[in-house]
Amino acid sequence: MPTRAWEWTARVEPGCKVTVTNPTDAELVAAVVAGNRDAFDGIVARHRRHVYQLCYRFVGNHEDASDLTQDVFIRAFKSLRTYKGDAALGTWLYRIAVNVSLNKVSVKSSKAEPLDALLRTNDLRVVADAESASDAVLRHERAGQVRAAIARLPKKQRATLILRMYHELPHEQIAGILGSSVGAVKANFFHALNNLKKLLS
């Protein structure tokens, strides 16, 4: 997907205009809070993929992940004044995404994408990798079993495992997202993996 350089003209004092190109997250946040709504497009464009992928890991289907991603950014927009910059904007958005996703999965059981849909999306990759159809089916079956088992983990273990295994976030960042200590994150990860093993066996 092509990247787009975000820029806008900001009036810093009467008669003086400054054009900001490829701004930092902090500059985008400051611009939105100052009333520049276009700057929020830059925040969405920069973080939408990671937020969507995180939401998808929780709900397992495109429709819900898409709705949740939209919800995350709407909540972020409404709450932007509370963002103080003490954590990275991505971490802050992840925190909202985890909360929104966990609320969603607690009121609605996961509606995972059917195997056929996953196979269709991976058809090209399968061909490119010269992987046989039966191997692909087996791989997807195993992946489906893992996803179903993860969906049965307690909420905090589930969030910890997803953030660590599939988003490869450091334990310190996960602690910031979940409001836990690093030790608690590691312990949660340990228990999540042990429970996952029991569920898969």
User: Tokens 């988003």 label which residue?
Assistant: 167
Compute the least distance from the CB of residue 15 to other proteins, in Å: 26
Q: Is 40 in the site for other proteins (CB under 8 A)?
A: yes
Compute the least distance from the CB of residue 122 to other proteins, in Å: 6
User: Tokens 């996961």 label which residue?
Assistant: 110
Distance CA 143, CA 161 (A): 15
What is the bridge-based pairing of β-strands 7-13 and 16-21? antiparallel
Binding segment toward other proteins, per CB under 8 A, in 10-18, 19-27, 65-73 = 65-73
- Contacting residue, 7, 27, 70, 131, with other proteins by CB under 8 A: 70
The answer to whether the CB of 97 falls within 8 A of the CB of 55 is: yes
DSSP 165: I
Distance CA 161, CA 157 (A): 6
- Contacting residue, 10, 27, 30, 41, with other proteins by CB under 8 A: 41
- Contacting residue, 30, 80, 110, 131, with other proteins by CB under 8 A: 80
Q: Report the site for other proteins in 136-175 (rule: CB under 8 A).
A: 139-140, 142-143, 146-147, 150, 154-157, 161, 165-166
